[in-house]
Amino acid sequence: MVPSLKYVIFFFIILFQSQIGISFSSQDSHHPLNSLTPLELSEVGSIVKSHCNGNVSFHYVGLDEPNKSHILRWISNPHSAPPRRVLVLARIHGATHEIIVDLSRSSVVSDRLYQGNGYPLLNIEEQVAASSLATSYPPFVASIEKRGLKMEELVCMSFSVGWFGEEKSRRMVRVMCYYLDGTVNMYMRPVEGITVAVDLDRMEIIGFRDRVVVPVPKAQGTDYTGSTPSDADDEDKDAPLCHFTFDGHVLRWGGWEMHVSFDMRAGLVISMASIYDGERDEQRIVMYRGFLSELFIPYMDLTEEWYYRTFFDSGELGFGVSAVPLVPLKDCPKNAVFVDAYFTSGDGMPARTSNAFCIFEKHAGDITEVRPESSLVVRMVSAVGNYDYIVDWEFKQTGIIRVTVGMTGLLEVKGSVYTHKDQMHEEVYGTILAENTIGVNHDHFLIFNLDLDVDGEENSLIKTDLKTSRVSRDVSLRRSYWRAESEAAKTESDARIRLGSGATMVSVVNPSKKTKIGNNVGYKLVPGSVAGALLSDDDYAQIRGAFTKYNVWVTPYNKTEKWAGGLCTDRSHGDDSLATWTKRDREIENKDIVLWYTLGFHHVPCQEDFPIMPTLTESFELRPSNFFEHNPTLYKQEMGMKIHADSNFSVQ
């Protein structure tokens, strides 16, 4: 949520990286969905700089992905590779530009002024620059002195400020400072009561208010030791060596084959995941694309210094940029393979996050028919401000895809005058966790973009309701039973689903493919925590985060509809978002469709979350449902490991 020390450290990594230069050779494969290499990023940087005579700041650089039809054509004919194009969101003379660079032609092919509301991701450099303005601003210095605090013990950070109905908003942040002086755990000692607003384009302070003096929480009891050895270590002792192959992008394991890439906004992107069906002797596509589209974290405190905290961690800060280097044995088990990631920093130079992903085979405790089930995990950890999100994409031999999000880290706490619950006679918007420390209530909503192509592109969403029926005496001695009533969603409005109340099940089927005994081939969504939005529809935060209103949405595939909170999310008005796109109520039956799923929960902090939160884990699954003729692992056992040698689907 909030730029953290890690950001500051990152900043140095970037500086360091720009010195090293870019001698990395790209991987052997030339898959059109491959992550942008440092060489390509560097080339994009110089093409854009010369295109606009230098004065440009970079906010997003990512693959302008080729049309799906072109990718599918390329699979059968590797000579028809689509052009390698890159989307750049840049700020030039106070305006946002959407620039497309064609790397095959080394030129800018289009440069469009972004006309919508909202601004692109904040880059790290401007966040650092804005934060450092406060400490040299005389009124701010006076406020710190008034509180009896030492300037040199302050660490300041920039917070995005949301949108509250104003017609035209400028790019700005608010700077919030924390006090070290005896703790390494800076988030635990907020300096409350002071508001510093910074205009990012002019890089100057445009607002200052010292409203109220609140005691800074004590340092005592806020420290924790960051490194605890992973409990995964023990269970790995007898782990066999890797059974997967990975050429830098294409991952093959246990019949699964997929493409793994990195985007500075989304982080990990899984493409073209297919699974070998031994019975049909065929590699069958399941998911064309899967990634975390947005994270929305609104806080519930109405005071002047807090009300605006309604963060969009992906669209405002970048979930990929916030990836932290994974530490072997601590963050990933010993059989893991690590992958570096590259992104563009604000000045257009490539920057590296080493060990941004790890890939490993996991031998789970889950037992399927007495056989231990193993799976393959692709992991990334993003430290978006105070929280660490651990995202695992796990692929099982049973055909199940499980996505797990672990959350740990530090709460964003608020300083308070109270030292005991009995003193509180006004609303504090949270829980008192320690003396002078309130953990403010908030939500975490993570929305995934899941372009399922179950055995081909044309799919339908099936809603199944379990309904109780009464039974009359002349039919049976039973008085009731339940039956499954299924219906295909015809248009987008049929596919907006609130889970959790009643027995609704959701699956994606291929209406033109059936099993031998006649069921439609499909995959079902097994949801995890299904918290829904509690804010009113007309609350500005909720207008921007309206995708939280339903747990499930379906859209027809459209490659520009990627980001649930819109392309330019910072200060957005909610008019370019999943909730507005679906108002067109397009047809989605027997079409190439995208399933959107929101994993969410409400967080009422408790004392055990202080000073560091024990990992909270939530997950969901995509599970084959009449996709195979029977349990696919049984067939694999019979066939031995034939699967491996034979998988010959796509690439290179």
Give residues in contact with ligand NAG (CB under 6 A).
Answer: 55, 67, 70, 93-94, 558, 560-561, 581, 646, 648
- The DSSP bridge pattern shows strands 245-246 and 613-625 to be unpaired
Which is closer to ligand NAG, CB of 435 or CB of 646?
A: 646
Measured from the CB atom, the residue of 533 and 579 that comes closer to ligand NAG is 579
Identified catalytic residue from 263, 277, 301, 313? 313
CB of 603: closest distance to Cu ion in angstroms?
3
Partner whose binding site includes residue 603, from Cu ion, ligand NAG, none (CB under 5 to 8 Å by kind): Cu ion
Among 603, 618, 622, 624, interactor with Cu ion by CB under 5 A = 603
561-563-566-569 Cα dihedral, nearest 10 degrees: -160
Q: Is 189 in the site for Cu ion (CB under 5 A)?
A: no
Task: Point out which span in 112-120, 507-515, 587-595, 601-609 binds Cu ion (CB under 5 A).
Answer: 601-609
To the nearest whole angstrom, how small is the minimum distance from the Cβ of residue 32 to ligand NAG? 11
**646 contact, one of Cu ion, ligand NAG, none, CB 5-8 Å limit per kind:** ligand NAG
Query: Angle at Cα 325 formed by Cα 319 and Cα 329, nearest 5°?
Result: 130
Shorter beta-carbon distance to Cu ion: residue 396 or 603: 603
Smallest gap from residue 609 Cβ to Cu ion (A):
8
Q: Pseudo-torsion of CA 77, 79, 80, 85, nearest 10°?
A: 130
313 carries an active-site annotation = yes
Q: Which does 388 bind (CB under 5 to 8 A by kind): Cu ion, ligand NAG, none?
A: none
Taking alpha carbons only, the member of 418, 465, 456, 455 closest to residue 438 is 418
Cβ proximity of 82 and 100 under 8 Å: no
Q: Among residues 85 and 442, whose Cβ is nearest to Cu ion?
A: 442
- Of 468 and 560, nearer to ligand NAG (C-beta) is 560
How far apart are CB 639 and ligand NAG at their closest, in Å? 14
Q: Which is nearer to ligand NAG, 330 or 644 (CB)?
A: 644
Phi, psi of 72 (to 5 degrees): -65, -35
Residues 214 to 243 in contact with Cu ion, rule: CB under 5 A: none
Q: How far is the CB of 66 from ligand NAG (least distance, A)?
A: 7
32 upstream amide cis, omega within 30 of 0:
no
Number of amino acids touching Cu ion (CB under 5 A): 1
Q: Where are the alpha helices (DSSP H) in 21-116?
A: 38-51, 68-76
CB of 204 to ligand NAG, least distance (A): 10
- 276, 387, 418, 550: which is the annotated catalytic residue? 387
Can you read off the two tokens belonging to residue 74? 């390329």
Distance CA 372, CA 170 (A): 56
Integer Cα distance of 351 and 342 in angstroms: 6
Residue 402 tokens, joined? 């499980």
CA distance 398 to 400: 6
Tell me the residue type at 439.
G
Taking CB within 5 to 8 Å according to partner kind, which of ligand NAG, Cu ion, none is near residue 110?
Answer: none
CB-based contacts of 411, cutoff 8 Å, min separation 6: 187, 386, 433, 439, 605, 609, 610, 613
468 binds, among ligand NAG, Cu ion, none (CB under 5 to 8 A by kind): none
Helices 124-134, 5-20: crossing angle, 10 deg rounding: 130
- Residues lying near Cu ion in the complex (CB under 5 A): 603
> Any idea which residues carry the catalytic annotation?
313, 387
